[in-house]
Amino acid sequence: MATATQHLMTADEFGLRPDSERIEELVRGRIVMSPPPSREHGMVCNAVGRLFGNFVAEHGLGRVLNNDSGVITERDPDTVRGADVAYYSYGRLPKERSLRGYGPEIPELVFEVLSPSDRWSNLLVKVGEYLNAGVLAVALLDPETREAHVYRSEARPVTLGADDPLTFPDILPGFQVAVGRLFD
């Protein structure tokens, strides 16, 4: 009995598809859909993008992308994750480089905002993919508890409460914000 082999999509093929008007990621060559995020999710993503984006722009450090901008985390088969917010220094993504499609550049910092439909096990897989791809730090933001869970490849995760300062001195020297401000 012959079995059909399913075609695994590449990141380039995924990026060339027409907009499906759905939230999608490519996971090991297969399209995975998610429900649209809530208003709270959008508000937190906006706060993160605004606070980090303003700091990055004022200091001419790089770019802050949001709105599920694609990051290739694995190849063969390809995985393209939609980062809620991602920071790329000009060292990793030069000013003159085109932003079309999914490039090979990996952000230094990624923020993911937990949604009620998210499962921790799936989020931790995503965190691992980002770190294995070369992201220096991943911050999972939990609107329900108003906490930030910060992951790095060479350190134990750190959980910060609403009053704790969120800093990334090795990535964005001089930046500091109270975690709670990300949820206001």
Q: Indicate the pTM of the whole model.
A: 0.87
pLDDT digits (tens, 9 = 90+) for 174-183: 999 999 999 9
**What amino acid occupies position 43?**
M
Predicted pLDDT at 20: 67
Q: Of 85, 133, 137, 83, which Cα lies nearest the Cα of 105?
A: 133
Tell me which residue range forms the domain holding 164: 11-183
The residue among 13 and 106 whose pLDDT is bigger is 106
6 within domain boundaries: no
Q: How confident is the model at residue 4 (pLDDT cuts 50, 70, 90)?
A: low
Predicted pLDDT at 11: 79
Predicted pLDDT at 149: 98
1 within domain boundaries: no
81 within domain boundaries: yes
CA quadruple 71, 162, 125, 117: dihedral positive or negative? Answer: negative
For residue 31, what is the domain's CATH number?
3.90.1570.10
Q: How far apart are CA 151 and CA 131, in angstroms?
A: 8
Number of domains in the chain: 1
The yes-or-no verdict on residue 21 having pLDDT over 70 is: no
98 within domain boundaries: yes
113 within domain boundaries: yes
Q: How far apart are CA 79 and CA 32, in angstroms?
A: 10
4 within domain boundaries: no
What lies within 8 Å, CB to CB, of 68 at 6+ separation is 23, 82, 83, 84
Q: How confident is the model at residue 29 (pLDDT cuts 50, 70, 90)?
A: confident
Predicted pLDDT at 167: 98
